[in-house]
Structure 1
Amino acid sequence: MRTTIDGAGRVVIPKPIRDRLGLEAGGSVEIRERDGLLELVPAASAMSLERRSGGLVAVPAEPLPPLTDAMVRATIEGTRR
């Protein structure tokens, strides 16, 4: 997919990609330069571990968007390649 860079240096991530990756307005991404390429990676969510019902549970520092079937399928497909 091709997109453009505007005068302020902003890049629009096409909607199909945002949907597949669960990216929403106001969300954070990490940007890296590696071997002449740019990588945009969804930023990791801060988590803490809490003991609940006899086990440890990862609890996000901020509310996360709901996990959808499409997101799970895309993740599974991505690991198969």
Structure 2
Amino acid sequence: METTIDKAGRLVVPKAVREASRLRPGTRVRFRVRDGRVEIEPVPLDVSLERHGSAVVAVPREGRPVLTAAEVEETTAGLRSGAPSEGGTQGAG
């Protein structure tokens, strides 16, 4: 898959790549150069740990879009089978 950087330095991430990696509009990404390659990854989600009853849960500090039922089912099925889901994990979104 190929794309082109425009004169303003913008890069269009192909739809198939966005879908597979679950990158959505507004997702913050980080660029790195390693061994002559450019790597792009979502910025880890900033969370705070809060006690909810007897459990401690990670709560996003910024609003996040709600996952669809299909996304939850896909991720759960992948975890149960031991195989990664099609989109992998979305540490940032």
TM over 0.5: yes
Which residue in 1 is equivalent to 2:50?
50
User: C-alpha distance in 1, partners of 2:74/2:33?
Assistant: 26
Displacement of 1:63 after TM fit? 2.0
C-alpha spacing 1:40/1:2, structure 2 compared with 1 (3 Å) = same
TM-score (structure 1 length as normaliser)? 0.81
Does structure 2 retain, via aligned residues, the 8 Å contact 1:47–1:58?
A: yes
Q: What's the Cα RMSD here?
A: 1.9
**Residue correspondences, number:** 76
User: C-alpha distance in 1, partners of 2:65/2:30?
Assistant: 18
Which residue in 2 is equivalent to 1:79?
none
What is the percentage of aligned positions where both structures have the same residue? 42
User: C-alpha distance in 1, partners of 2:73/2:5?
Assistant: 29
Deviations along 1:35-78, one digit per CA (max 9) or x if unpaired, are 110000011110000011211100001122333148622228xx
Runs of at least 5 residues in structure 1 that lack an aligned partner in the other structure: 77-81
Q: Which has the higher contact order (CA 8 A, sep 6+)?
A: 2
TM-score (structure 2 length as normaliser)? 0.72
Taking the TM superposition and a 5 Å limit, the aligned residue runs for 1:2-81 are 2-67=2-67, 68-69=71-72, 72=75, 73-74=85-86, 75=88
User: C-alpha distance in 2, partners of 1:4/1:70?
Assistant: 35
Give the residue type in structure 2 aligned to 1:35.
D
Deviations along 1:11-31, one digit per CA (max 9) or x if unpaired, are 110011111212111221000
